[in-house]
Amino acid sequence: MKMSLTVRLAGRNLARNVRRTILSVIGVGVGCAIAIFIWSFSRGAEDMRIRGVAESGIGHMAVVPEIWVDTRDPDLRLAGWRDELETTRGMPGVVAAAPSASTTALLAFGTLVVGVEMLGVDPSVEPAVNRIARAIGEGRYLEPGDGSLTVVGRGVVDQLDVELGDQLYVTLVGASGGIEYVMLEICGIIDTGSKSLDASICHVTLDQLAVMTGRDGPTKIAIMVDDIQTIDQRAAELGARVGEGNTVITWASLVPAMGADKAADDVFNNTLVATIILVVMLGVTSARLTAVLERKREFAVLLALGMKPLQILRLIMLEAFVVGVAGSGVGLVIVTPLVYLLATKGLSFADAFGGDASIAGVLFDPVIYGDMGPWMVPVAFAVGVTATLAAAIYPTASALRTDPTSALTMREG
Amino acid sequence: MTETLVSVADVTKDYDTGKVTVKALRGLSLDVAEGDFMAIVGPSGSGKTTLLNLIGALDTATTGTVDVFGTRLSGLSRRERADLRLHSLGFVFQAYNLIPVLTARENVEFVLELQGAGEERRERALSVLTDLGLGDFADRRPNEMSGGQQQRVAVARAVASRPRLVLADEPTANLDSENSEALLAMMRGLRDLHGMTFVFCTHDPLVVSYARRVVRLHDGVVQSDERKEAGQ
C-alpha cells in the first residue's frame, strides 16, 4: 500500500531543513534521556529507601494493634497473633512474615552498663526481613529454642568490653511493673557498619522476651512482599482479612520520616523533569514555529485550494509526531547505556553517609542502583511524543491563522 | 443559452487598515457565464484581486451579494467555502505556488487526494500532465523546472478535477512571451475541450488579446465590459 501524500509531505517537510530537524530530534532526545535518567535514579533511590526500611525488620508492611499506630507503645501485643501470622503467610505475594516485639533493657557486665532496644524475634524468619540479623560478624544468629542466648551489636560489645560466650546481666521492666533480671549468653555479634545502630542492637527469641516481660506474643508481624509496586494493594487485601483490633500499615506509615522523604523526593524529581521538558518544549516550539512561518505561503495556497484547517493541523502534528518518535528513540539510545551503568555499578553515597549508613534507625545500603527495565520504552515515547505535540500547538495555531487570500496577493520575488 | 456561473451584485469591499478605511470595491456588479474566457484588467488598486478573492470564496463582501453556481457565498460557513473551492473551483497563482517538496505529479495528485480521490488519482494526475505536455516532467520537483513548466503544472493542478470555473491571478506575470502564449493557448484549449470557464486578473496585453471577454475595472467599479467575437 502506498503512503498517503499527506504523510509523504510531512516527511519531506522535515527533510527541507535537515539540520533543524536533527537538532529538534536531538533536543527531544536529550530531554527524554534526562527525564528517564532522573526517573531511573529516583526509582532506584525509592527502591533503596523501601528496601532499607523493609529490611530493617520493619517490612514492606506490618500487622499491628490499631492502638499502636497512634501510641507506638512497645508493650502492646497483637491479639490472636498466631491466626494473624497464619493468615498473613497464606496471602499471595507474601515472601516472609516475621513476628517481633521489643522492650528497653539494660545490659550489664561487671561494672559496665548499656541501654538497648531489646528485640524479640522468631529466629527462623527474622533474617528474611532484617538485614541486621544477617550481619553476623562473629558467632551465629539465634536459632529457634535459644532460650537464654542473645546476639548483640559490635557497639554493645565494645561498650561492655565483652566477647562471645560472656554472660550479660539483663534488667528490664516486667508486665507487673516490677524489675526483672535475667542472665543471657552472647552467641553472636552483629556488625552492620553503622556505629549508632551497632551500639543498641540486642536480639533474643520472642519466647525469651515473653518470659522476661511477662507479655506473650509479638507487637507486630513484619511482612515482605515479592513486588514493591504491589505494597499498597497487598496492604489493602490483608487489611480486609485481619482480626478486629488489628490493622495493616505500610512502611511509609511505619517510618513516617521516610514516607515524607519519599514524597518530598518525588515532588523535587518530578519538578526537575517537568522543568527540563518545558525547556525542551520551548526549543522545539521555536524550531517548529520557524518551520511554519517559512511555509506561510504554502499554507495560504493550501487553504485557498480547499484544504481544511483540520487537515493542516494534522499535517503539522504529523511532522511533530515524527520528531517526537525519533527524539524518543534517540533519547533511549542516549540514556540506555547510562542507566545500564547506574543499574549495574550504582552510585555510592558511602562518603556522604560518613561511614554510618543508618538514618532514623534504618540501615541503608549506601549505593543507589538505577532502575532499568521495559518501563523506559513507553515512558520515553510518552514523554517525547507528548512534549513535541504540545510544543507544536502554538506553531499550528499560527499556521491556521493564515489568511487564504494572501495566496493571491503574494508576488514572486 | 449559457448558464450564469457567477453573479456579483452591487458588491462593496472595505478594508479597515486601522487609520483609514480603503474602499476596494464600490458597488461592483458582474456576471460570469459558463464558457467565458474572461480577462479582468485595470490599474493597480482597481479591485481586480479583491474581486477574484470574492468570486473564489476566499473572502466575503462588505455589502452586496456574490453567488457562485447559484449558491450565495455569504451564507456559507468557512468549511463550506473551503469545500466549494476544493471541489468546484481551480486556482492558478502568479507565483505558481507549487509545493516545493512534491514532484509535479504529486502536486497535482495532492489536490485530488484532498478531494477524496482514490488510487486512480495517480493515473489521473499523470494523464493531465501528459495532456499539458508535461509527461516527461512528472517526477521533477518545481525547482527542477522552468517558470513556464511550473506554471503549466499549476494549471494542471487547477484543472485536474475538471472544475467548472478556474480563477487565475496574473498567470503570465513571470513568464516570457513564448511561455505566456503557450500557457494561454493551453488554457483556451481546455476551455474549448472541456467547457471550463476561465477568469483572469491581468495586466498582460497578451492575456487580453486571448480573452473572449475583457472587463475593465477602475476605482472598484466596472468601467467597461467588452465581448469579442470569435476570431478577434
Query: What ipTM, to 2 d.p.?
Result: 0.86
- Which amino acid belongs to residue B185? A
Closest by Cβ to A304, choosing from B91, B95, B109: B91
- SS3 of residue B153 by DSSP: helix
Closest by Cβ to B93, choosing from A9, A301, A311: A301
Predicted structure pTM score: 0.75
What would the pLDDT profile of A1-34 be if each residue is shown by its tens digit? 467 888 888 999 898 889 999 999 999 999 999 9
Q: Residue A6's closest chain B neighbor by CA?
A: B110
* Band (A86; pLDDT cuts 50, 70, 90): very high
Task: Tell me whether strands B21-33 and B221-227 are parallel, antiparallel or unpaired.
Answer: unpaired
Average pLDDT over residues B107-120: 88
Cβ–Cβ gap A5/B102 under 8 Å: yes
- Which amino acid belongs to residue A216? D
- Which amino acid belongs to residue A201? I
End-to-end CA distance of chain A: 39
Q: Residue B159's closest chain A neighbor by CA?
A: A305
Is the pLDDT score of A355 beyond 60?
no
| Residue pair A69/A207 in contact by the 8 Å Cβ criterion | no
Cβ–Cβ gap B114/A306 under 8 Å: yes
Instruction: Output A58 or B41, whichever has higher pLDDT.
Output: B41
Looking at beta carbons, which residues of chain A come within 8 Å of B91?
304-305, 407-408
**Which residues of B make CB contacts under 8 Å with A?**
49, 52-53, 56, 58-59, 78-79, 82-87, 89, 91, 93-97, 99-102, 106, 109-111, 113-115, 119, 157, 169, 173-174
Is the pLDDT score of A328 beyond 70?
yes
pLDDT confidence of residue A409:
62
**Overall CATH class of domain B4-99+162-226:** alpha beta
Residues 6+ apart with CB under 8 A from B221: B25, B26, B27, B28, B47
Instruction: Give me the DSSP letters along A54-86.
Output: HTBTT-SEEEEEHHHHHH--TT---TTHHHHHH
Domains in chain B: boundaries = 4-99+162-226
Closest by Cβ to A408, choosing from B52, B110, B174: B52
| Residue pair A147/A110 in contact by the 8 Å Cβ criterion | no
pLDDT confidence of residue B230:
60
Closest by Cβ to A308, choosing from B56, B82, B110: B82
pLDDT confidence of residue A2:
60
Q: Residue A413's closest chain B neighbor by CA?
A: B95
* Band (A412; pLDDT cuts 50, 70, 90): very low
* Band (A107; pLDDT cuts 50, 70, 90): very high
Cβ–Cβ gap B97/A410 under 8 Å: yes
Is the pLDDT score of B38 beyond 70?
yes
Alpha carbons A194 and A356: distance in angstroms, whole number: 4
pLDDT confidence of residue A235:
92
Closest by Cβ to B58, choosing from A4, A408, A412: A408
* Band (A53; pLDDT cuts 50, 70, 90): confident
What would the pLDDT profile of B124-176 be if each residue is shown by its tens digit? 999 989 988 888 999 999 999 988 889 889 988 988 888 999 999 888 888 88
Looking at beta carbons, which residues of chain B come within 8 Å of A2?
119
Cβ–Cβ gap B82/A298 under 8 Å: no
Q: How far is CA B229 from the centre of its chain?
A: 22
Cβ–Cβ gap A5/B110 under 8 Å: yes
* Band (A411; pLDDT cuts 50, 70, 90): very low
Residues in chain B: 232
pLDDT confidence of residue A358:
64
| Highest mean pLDDT pick, A298-302, A358-362, B4-8 | B4-8
* Band (B120; pLDDT cuts 50, 70, 90): confident
Q: Can you name the residues that pair with A109 across neighbouring β-strands?
A: A112
